[in-house]
Amino acid sequence: MLNYATPLDLVFHALADPTRRAMLERLSNGPASVSELAGPLAMSLPAVVQHLQVLEASGLVRSEKAGRVRTCRIEPAALGSVERWIAERQSNWDRRLDRLGDHLAGHEEESD
């Protein structure tokens, strides 16, 4: 039942690599060609293309080829599930942080 990758698995897996996060950061500023993405990265073009494939499989990025240039862009819709998951956890975590804050504040008063 848990042995296949869900969309959320693929998105978090895609985000778990610093090169892929750097590519997303670049693309969050606007579309870029594969060469433009590869420019600042200290790796071969085939390695960049492999990372791009992981990003495309996750749905975070899509690319289109026009003539000889493949243009990559962020796919905003794919972020919905991860944003929702994080927002839900954050609201729980924030409540826990608030309680931790209250707890620590209580300890501070005790030690005053």
> Interface with a copy of itself by CB under 8 A: which residues?
1-2, 6, 8-10, 12-13, 15-19, 21, 24-25, 28-30, 42, 74, 76, 79, 83, 85-86, 89-90, 92-93, 96-97, 100
Min dist CB 97 to a copy of itself, Å, is 5
Query: Which tokens sit at 30?
Result: 């606007």
Strand partners, 7: none
34 vs 78, which CB is nearer to a copy of itself? 78
Min dist CB 67 to a copy of itself, Å, is 23
Min dist CB 110 to a copy of itself, Å, is 21
Query: Which tokens sit at 102?
Result: 């209250």
Q: Classify 19 as helix, strand or coil.
A: helix
Residues in the chain: 112
- Give which of 22, 24, 10 is closest to 54, Cα–Cα: 10
